[in-house]
Structure 1
Amino acid sequence: MADLVGAAPAAPGSHVGSRAEYAARVLEQLAERARPGERLGTKVSLRPVCGVSVGTFNEAVKLAQSRGWVVSRSGPGGGIFAADRSAMVRLGNSVLALDGEVSSVADAVRMRDALDPLLVEDAVWHSSAADVREMRDRLGVMAAARDAGDPVAFVLGNWALHRKIAEVSPSVILRTVYLSLLDIVEAHTRGVSGTETSPLPRYIDERYLLHERLVDAIEAREQDAAQRLIREHNTTANAS
Structure 2
Amino acid sequence: MTLVAGPGRGMASNRAEQAAERVAELVDSVPPGSRLGTKEELRTLCAVSVGTFNEALRLLQARGLVTVRPGPGGGLFSAEQSPIVRLGNSVLALDARQHDVTEAVRIRDALEPLLVEDALWHASPADVAGLREHIAAMAAAMDAADAVAFVRANWRLHAAIAAISPNALLSSLYASLLDLIESHTLSVLPAGGQPLGEYIAQRLALHRELVDALDRRDREEAFRLIREHSTTTGRHGDAPPSPS
In the superposition, the TM-score normalised over structure 2's length comes to 0.55
Q: Percent of counterpart pairs with the same letter?
A: 52
* 1:239 equivalent in structure 2: 243
Paired AA for residue 147 in structure 2: P
Structure-2 change in CA distance of 1:147 and 1:174 (3 Å)? same
What SS does the aligned partner of 2:186 have? strand
Pair 1:194–1:231, CA change in 2 (3 A): closer
Contact 2:131 2:157 in 1 (8 A): yes
CA change 1:126–1:145 in 2 (3 A) is same
The equivalent of 2:143 in structure 1 is 147
User: Is residue 226 of structure 2 the alignment partner of residue 230 of structure 1?
Assistant: yes
Question: Could you list the per-position Cα deviations for residues 110-169 of structure 1 after superposition, in whole angstroms to 9, with x for gaps in the alignment?
Answer: 000000000011011100011000000000000001111111111111000000000000
The answer to whether residue 119 in structure 2 is matched with residue 123 in structure 1 is yes
- The residue type equivalent to 1:111 in the other structure is I
For residues 195 and 222 of structure 1, the distance between their equivalents in structure 2, rounded to whole angstroms, comes to 32
Partner of 1:138: 134
Aligned counterpart, 2:104: 108
Inter-partner Cα distance in structure 1 for 2:215 and 2:207: 12
CA distance in 1, matches of 2:191, 2:98: 22
Give, in angstroms, the shift of residue 178 of structure 1: 0.5
Find the aligned partners of 1:200 and 1:215 in 2 and give their Cα distance: 23
- Following superposition, the deviation at residue 202 of structure 1 comes to 1.2
5+ long unaligned stretches in structure 1: 1-16, 18-98
Q: Structure 1 residues 210-219 or 188-197, which shifts more?
A: 188-197
Cα RMSD (Å) of the superposition?
Answer: 2.0
* Equivalent-residue separation in structure 1 for 2:217 and 2:188 (angstroms): 37
Count the aligned residue pairs: 143
How far, CA to CA, are the matches of 1:205 and 1:186 in structure 2? 21
| Equivalent position of 2:179 in the other structure | 183
Residue of 207, 213, 219 corresponding to 2:215 = 219
What is the CA-CA distance between 1:103 and the residue it aligns to? 2.2
Q: Distance in 1 between matches of 2:120 and 2:195?
A: 32
User: Deviation per CA, 1:75-99, whole angstroms, max 9, x where unpaired?
Assistant: xxxxxxxxxxxxxxxxxxxxxxxx9
Q: Which whole-Å deviations, capped at 9, do the CAs of 1:53-85 have from their partners, x for residues lacking one? A: xxxxxxxxxxxxxxxxxxxxxxxxxxxxxxxxx
Work out whether 1:171 is the aligned partner of 2:180.
no
- List alignment gaps of at least 5 residues for structure 2: 1-9, 11-94, 234-241
Deviation at 1:239, TM superposition (A): 1.7
Q: Which whole-Å CA distance do the structure 2 matches of 1:230 and 1:198 have between them?
A: 21
